[in-house]
Homo-oligomer: A and B are copies of this chain.
Amino acid sequence: MKKIGVVLSGCGVRDGSEIHEAVLTLLAIDNSGAKAVCLAPDIELDEVNHLTMQDTGAKRNVLVEAARIARGDIADVKTAKAEELDAIVLPGGFGAAKNLCSFGFEGPKGSVQPDVLKLIRDMAAAKKPICAICIAPAVVALALGKELAPKLTIGNDPGTAQGINGTGSSNVECPATECVIDRDNLIVSTPAYMLAGSIAEAGKGIEKAIKATLELIK
Protein backbone atom coordinates (compact mmCIF):
# COMPACT_ATOMS: atom_id res chain seq x y z
CA MET A 1 0.00 0.00 0.00
CA LYS A 2 1.36 3.41 -0.98
CA LYS A 3 2.23 5.67 1.96
CA ILE A 4 1.45 9.35 1.52
CA GLY A 5 2.84 11.84 4.04
CA VAL A 6 0.34 14.59 4.88
CA VAL A 7 2.19 17.58 6.33
CA LEU A 8 -0.16 19.53 8.63
CA SER A 9 0.45 22.95 10.19
CA GLY A 10 -2.11 23.08 13.02
CA CYS A 11 -5.91 22.91 13.03
CA GLY A 12 -7.83 25.91 11.66
CA VAL A 13 -7.67 28.07 8.54
CA ARG A 14 -6.24 31.18 10.24
CA ASP A 15 -3.46 29.67 12.37
CA GLY A 16 -3.02 26.13 11.08
CA SER A 17 -4.14 23.71 8.38
CA GLU A 18 -7.39 24.55 6.60
CA ILE A 19 -9.55 21.81 8.11
CA HIS A 20 -11.74 21.06 5.06
CA GLU A 21 -8.70 20.78 2.79
CA ALA A 22 -6.88 18.52 5.24
CA VAL A 23 -9.87 16.20 5.72
CA LEU A 24 -10.66 16.05 1.98
CA THR A 25 -6.99 15.17 1.41
CA LEU A 26 -7.27 12.26 3.88
CA LEU A 27 -10.54 11.17 2.21
CA ALA A 28 -9.05 11.25 -1.30
CA ILE A 29 -5.98 9.27 -0.16
CA ASP A 30 -8.18 6.63 1.51
CA ASN A 31 -10.52 6.46 -1.51
CA SER A 32 -7.45 5.86 -3.70
CA GLY A 33 -6.43 2.83 -1.64
CA ALA A 34 -3.32 4.53 -0.23
CA LYS A 35 -2.41 5.17 3.41
CA ALA A 36 -2.10 8.69 4.85
CA VAL A 37 0.80 9.27 7.26
CA CYS A 38 0.08 12.50 9.14
CA LEU A 39 3.07 14.65 10.08
CA ALA A 40 3.58 18.10 11.61
CA PRO A 41 6.47 20.09 13.06
CA ASP A 42 6.78 20.27 16.86
CA ILE A 43 6.80 24.09 17.04
CA GLU A 44 4.58 26.87 18.40
CA LEU A 45 1.90 28.80 16.51
CA ASP A 46 0.23 32.14 17.23
CA GLU A 47 -3.39 31.37 18.14
CA VAL A 48 -6.22 33.07 16.25
CA ASN A 49 -9.77 33.08 17.63
CA HIS A 50 -11.75 31.70 14.66
CA LEU A 51 -15.03 33.27 15.81
CA THR A 52 -13.69 36.84 15.90
CA MET A 53 -10.70 36.18 13.55
CA GLN A 54 -8.52 38.14 15.98
CA ASP A 55 -5.07 37.13 17.26
CA THR A 56 -5.38 36.10 20.91
CA GLY A 57 -1.72 36.65 21.81
CA ALA A 58 -1.57 33.03 23.07
CA LYS A 59 0.51 30.18 21.65
CA ARG A 60 -0.50 26.62 20.77
CA ASN A 61 1.64 23.73 19.54
CA VAL A 62 1.41 22.86 15.82
CA LEU A 63 1.87 19.09 16.30
CA VAL A 64 -0.60 18.90 19.21
CA GLU A 65 -3.28 20.87 17.32
CA ALA A 66 -2.69 19.00 14.05
CA ALA A 67 -3.27 15.78 16.03
CA ARG A 68 -6.95 16.82 16.19
CA ILE A 69 -7.27 16.43 12.40
CA ALA A 70 -5.28 13.18 12.52
CA ARG A 71 -7.38 11.72 15.38
CA GLY A 72 -4.10 11.33 17.32
CA ASP A 73 -2.37 9.28 14.61
CA ILE A 74 0.45 11.72 13.79
CA ALA A 75 4.24 11.99 14.12
CA ASP A 76 6.77 14.81 14.36
CA VAL A 77 7.78 15.63 10.76
CA LYS A 78 11.41 15.51 11.99
CA THR A 79 11.08 11.71 12.26
CA ALA A 80 9.73 11.27 8.69
CA LYS A 81 12.03 9.62 6.16
CA ALA A 82 11.62 10.23 2.43
CA GLU A 83 12.63 6.62 1.72
CA GLU A 84 9.59 5.40 3.69
CA LEU A 85 7.08 7.62 1.85
CA ASP A 86 5.82 7.39 -1.74
CA ALA A 87 4.62 11.00 -1.95
CA ILE A 88 3.79 13.94 0.31
CA VAL A 89 0.85 16.36 0.38
CA LEU A 90 0.73 19.78 2.02
CA PRO A 91 -2.83 21.03 2.65
CA GLY A 92 -3.36 24.79 2.87
CA GLY A 93 -4.48 27.21 5.56
CA PHE A 94 -2.51 30.19 6.90
CA GLY A 95 -0.50 27.70 8.98
CA ALA A 96 1.24 26.59 5.77
CA ALA A 97 2.37 30.19 5.13
CA LYS A 98 3.07 31.10 8.78
CA ASN A 99 4.15 27.88 10.55
CA LEU A 100 5.66 25.68 7.82
CA CYS A 101 7.48 28.67 6.34
CA SER A 102 7.62 32.46 6.66
CA PHE A 103 6.14 33.30 3.23
CA GLY A 104 3.14 34.90 5.01
CA PHE A 105 5.41 37.49 6.62
CA GLU A 106 8.41 37.70 4.29
CA GLY A 107 7.15 36.65 0.85
CA PRO A 108 9.82 35.31 -1.52
CA LYS A 109 12.56 36.21 1.01
CA GLY A 110 11.04 33.81 3.54
CA SER A 111 12.49 30.50 4.75
CA VAL A 112 11.01 27.05 5.33
CA GLN A 113 10.85 25.36 8.75
CA PRO A 114 14.01 23.16 8.74
CA ASP A 115 12.35 19.73 9.26
CA VAL A 116 9.75 20.47 6.57
CA LEU A 117 12.47 21.81 4.25
CA LYS A 118 14.53 18.62 4.65
CA LEU A 119 11.53 16.38 3.87
CA ILE A 120 10.56 18.40 0.77
CA ARG A 121 14.16 18.45 -0.53
CA ASP A 122 14.64 14.74 0.18
CA MET A 123 11.40 13.87 -1.64
CA ALA A 124 12.39 16.01 -4.65
CA ALA A 125 15.88 14.47 -4.72
CA ALA A 126 14.33 10.98 -4.63
CA LYS A 127 12.04 11.90 -7.58
CA LYS A 128 8.93 11.33 -5.48
CA PRO A 129 5.78 13.45 -6.04
CA ILE A 130 4.90 16.47 -3.93
CA CYS A 131 1.35 17.83 -3.86
CA ALA A 132 0.52 21.29 -2.46
CA ILE A 133 -2.95 22.74 -1.90
CA CYS A 134 -4.25 26.33 -1.57
CA ILE A 135 -1.45 28.54 -0.14
CA ALA A 136 0.87 25.55 0.55
CA PRO A 137 2.56 25.83 -2.89
CA ALA A 138 4.34 28.81 -1.25
CA VAL A 139 6.21 26.32 0.98
CA VAL A 140 7.28 24.27 -2.05
CA ALA A 141 8.18 27.44 -3.97
CA LEU A 142 10.49 28.60 -1.16
CA ALA A 143 12.00 25.12 -0.77
CA LEU A 144 12.58 24.32 -4.45
CA GLY A 145 12.03 27.52 -6.46
CA LYS A 146 15.64 28.48 -7.14
CA GLU A 147 16.75 24.94 -7.88
CA LEU A 148 13.82 23.53 -9.89
CA ALA A 149 11.71 26.52 -11.00
CA PRO A 150 8.44 24.58 -10.52
CA LYS A 151 5.10 25.55 -12.04
CA LEU A 152 2.49 25.97 -9.28
CA THR A 153 -1.01 27.24 -8.53
CA ILE A 154 -1.56 29.97 -5.91
CA GLY A 155 -4.90 31.48 -6.95
CA ASN A 156 -5.27 34.81 -8.75
CA ASP A 157 -4.18 37.43 -6.21
CA PRO A 158 -1.51 39.45 -8.08
CA GLY A 159 0.61 40.16 -4.97
CA THR A 160 0.70 36.53 -3.91
CA ALA A 161 1.45 35.38 -7.46
CA GLN A 162 4.30 37.90 -7.63
CA GLY A 163 5.65 36.49 -4.36
CA ILE A 164 5.62 32.98 -5.81
CA ASN A 165 7.32 34.13 -9.00
CA GLY A 166 9.94 35.90 -6.84
CA THR A 167 11.10 32.51 -5.51
CA GLY A 168 12.05 31.37 -9.01
CA SER A 169 8.81 29.36 -9.33
CA SER A 170 6.03 30.24 -11.80
CA ASN A 171 2.41 30.75 -10.86
CA VAL A 172 -0.05 29.01 -13.22
CA GLU A 173 -3.70 30.08 -13.09
CA CYS A 174 -6.15 27.22 -12.63
CA PRO A 175 -9.76 26.96 -11.36
CA ALA A 176 -10.41 25.46 -7.89
CA THR A 177 -12.00 22.38 -9.44
CA GLU A 178 -8.83 21.46 -11.37
CA CYS A 179 -5.14 20.92 -10.61
CA VAL A 180 -1.82 21.73 -12.30
CA ILE A 181 0.70 18.93 -12.87
CA ASP A 182 4.37 19.90 -13.27
CA ARG A 183 5.56 16.62 -14.80
CA ASP A 184 9.23 17.65 -14.95
CA ASN A 185 9.36 18.18 -11.20
CA LEU A 186 6.57 15.78 -10.10
CA ILE A 187 4.77 18.61 -8.35
CA VAL A 188 0.95 18.80 -8.29
CA SER A 189 -1.02 21.79 -7.01
CA THR A 190 -4.60 23.03 -6.76
CA PRO A 191 -5.92 26.42 -5.53
CA ALA A 192 -8.70 25.06 -3.23
CA TYR A 193 -9.91 27.89 -0.94
CA MET A 194 -7.58 30.43 -2.58
CA LEU A 195 -10.40 30.45 -5.18
CA ALA A 196 -13.13 27.96 -4.16
CA GLY A 197 -16.54 29.33 -3.21
CA SER A 198 -17.66 26.12 -1.55
CA ILE A 199 -16.35 22.94 0.07
CA ALA A 200 -17.61 20.83 -2.87
CA GLU A 201 -15.62 22.97 -5.32
CA ALA A 202 -12.42 22.69 -3.23
CA GLY A 203 -13.06 18.97 -2.89
CA LYS A 204 -13.19 18.40 -6.66
CA GLY A 205 -9.75 20.00 -7.15
CA ILE A 206 -8.25 18.14 -4.20
CA GLU A 207 -9.59 14.80 -5.44
CA LYS A 208 -8.00 15.40 -8.87
CA ALA A 209 -4.73 16.58 -7.30
CA ILE A 210 -4.41 13.49 -5.09
CA LYS A 211 -5.27 11.19 -8.01
CA ALA A 212 -2.63 12.92 -10.18
CA THR A 213 -0.07 12.71 -7.35
CA LEU A 214 -0.60 8.96 -6.94
CA GLU A 215 -0.30 8.44 -10.70
CA LEU A 216 3.11 10.16 -10.65
CA ILE A 217 4.52 7.62 -8.17
CA LYS A 218 7.09 5.47 -9.97
Contact = CB atoms under 8 A, between A and B. Distances in A.
Interface of A: 11-14, 18-20, 23-24, 26-27, 30-31, 49-51, 53, 63-65, 67-72, 74, 198-200, 203
A19 B68 contact: yes
Contact of A63 (B14, B51, B65): B51
Counted per complex, copies of this chain come to: 2
A148 to B, nearest CB: 32
A13 B71 CA distance: 7
Contact of A11 (B26, B27, B63, B68): B68
A158 to B, nearest CB: 24
A20 B12 contact: no
A68 B13 contact: yes
Contacts of A64: 49-51
A23 B64 CA distance: 20
Contacts of A24: 23, 27
Contacts of A12: 11, 68
B67 A23 contact: no
A199 B20 contact: no
A11 B15 CA distance: 14
Nearest to A30: B200
Nearest to A61: B51
Nearest to A71: B13
A1 to B, nearest CB: 12
A51 B23 contact: no
B30 A198 contact: yes
A69 to B, nearest CB: 6
A76 to B, nearest CB: 10
Given A51-B63, A51-B74, A74-B51, A26 B68 contact: no
Nearest to A26: B199
B23 A50 contact: no
Contacts of A13: 68, 71-72
Given A20-B27, A50-B65, A50-B67, 4 more contacts: A20-B23, A31-B200, A49-B64, A50-B64
